[in-house]
Structure 1
């Protein structure tokens, strides 16, 4: 293993490709559960979120404009929410529920990373306002969760799926995140972005937590292999490929599954 890690080096492009392939396999499992696809196929997808969280940390650290980076993810989060809502409305394929929106997870992560930057800058320049704004950004996903919960406790809203979708689409609530509290890996990996060993340790601890809880999410531990092989290079550019591929492959697999099930 040590020899492999020394001789084989991966760029961010390579890690993205690995993540995309594993994600595609994972979504094949999700979409074809009604056909009895074996549960072990789902194992391939367990390292995916960790890989994309790591990629997001690297991307956010090196992007020329963090504001544009965040805006891209926020718009993608909103569009993905409406896409899955209308797709389910049109197709009426109740056997598969579309909860997919990795853009929400990644946007929540950028909020927290931006918060960390503000706190760091505030401490350096003794700017209390920056520090307070930084903490506010970090807490925003939790505040959003409370606001969404309050809104959904209203019977009128709860009985109107369109209003519910509209509210949830715009709110970066952590309880709506596809990967739940696992999103907290992003700020942790960002804090230690200059120490790969601690990043690996954080992932291992998270994996052991899920193993202790009896969740197959512990398989995320295998994400450390490509992360350990990261060579610090961006590699080939594919800035917008993921933004297109992610929704496109989900729609395609969902429609194929619905068609086969109904015919």
Structure 2
């Protein structure tokens, strides 16, 4: 029984397929506002705040059920690299006031990677495989170290060196680091919490609420100035999840996500000429 069902008595449920459809629909609203901020009302992006938690939750479920966790991570990584390359190419060919920073694949990849590393660490402890324990710890720390190195570079005078800057940008195309992906550490941690708490739906919802409150606190509760906290409303569809896959849409998101971003970018570019 879902958390929301226990509270309301409703028998309405959502499959993973339906959850993703909700996420995709609201994602389009959000990105329409991103590329047409003057002509489109702000509430388009308000409702888009619930998209990231939905896809982080779906990724945690996908990680649990997938037959090959390595293959799952590889798909997300390839999505990150290809979209990063396409972002760079399109912006160079069609320079615009809009910056193509969208690439949720990096966030999902790192979230799933940390799910894998935590499981690897726990299983290695249970099996008393000390070499694997050490390897898991090193792999866990490495992205954090790379994040710190990236921040030091971005805040140093070296960023003014075009050669070093280009090396940094090309390196970031191949190596996603927590501090630079969409949502940063916060989204990665939320995805990991969805994984660790997957047998307690109420705890998953509470984790989402806690992270949302933390974001509101960090923005000094200026509710309209910073509205990422609105992702708390993703608790409703997540609580209604029934644990089933529903229709198969394995590669649809991998194609639709970048395709609609580039369509909106190019539309904004041509309308702005």
TM-score, with structure 2 as normaliser: 0.89
C-alpha distance in structure 1 between counterparts of 2:204 and 2:266, whole Å: 38
Structure 1 residue 147 displacement after superposition: 3.7
Aligned to 1:83: 86
C-alpha distance in structure 2 between counterparts of 1:237 and 1:22, whole Å: 20
Aligned to 2:98: 96
Q: Which moved more, 1:13-22 or 1:39-48?
A: 39-48
* 1:227 equivalenced with 2:238 (yes/no): yes
Structure 1 residue 157 displacement after superposition: 7.8
Aligned to 2:66: 63
Which structure 1 residue ranges, 5 or more long, are not aligned? Answer: none
Aligned to 2:228: 217
Structure 1 residue 38 displacement after superposition: 2.7
Structure 1 residue 151 displacement after superposition: 5.5
* 1:193 equivalenced with 2:198 (yes/no): yes
CA contact (8 A) 1:158 1:164 kept: no
* 1:23 equivalenced with 2:27 (yes/no): yes
- CA deviation vs aligned residue, 1:32-90 (integer Å, no higher than 9, x gap): 12x44332221011111100000000000110000000111111111111111111111
CA contact (8 A) 2:153 2:159 kept: no
* 1:46 equivalenced with 2:46 (yes/no): no
C-alpha distance in structure 1 between counterparts of 2:17 and 2:93, whole Å: 35
Matches within 5 A, 1:233-248: 233-248=244-259
C-alpha distance in structure 2 between counterparts of 1:154 and 1:167, whole Å: 18
Structure 1 residue 148 displacement after superposition: 3.2
Larger RCO: 1 or 2 (CA < 8 Å, sep 6+)? 2
C-alpha distance in structure 1 between counterparts of 2:40 and 2:241, whole Å: 33
TM-score, with structure 1 as normaliser: 0.92
Structure 1 residue 158 displacement after superposition: 4.5
Q: CA RMSD in A?
A: 1.9
C-alpha distance in structure 1 between counterparts of 2:260 and 2:13, whole Å: 28
Which structure 2 residue ranges, 5 or more long, are not aligned? Answer: none
Structure 1 residue 134 displacement after superposition: 2.3
Structure 1 SS opposite 2:137: helix
C-alpha distance in structure 1 between counterparts of 2:91 and 2:233, whole Å: 33
Aligned to 1:256: 267
Aligned to 2:120: 118
CA contact (8 A) 1:111 1:137 kept: no
- CA deviation vs aligned residue, 1:189-247 (integer Å, no higher than 9, x gap): 21111111111110001111122223311111110111111111011101100000011
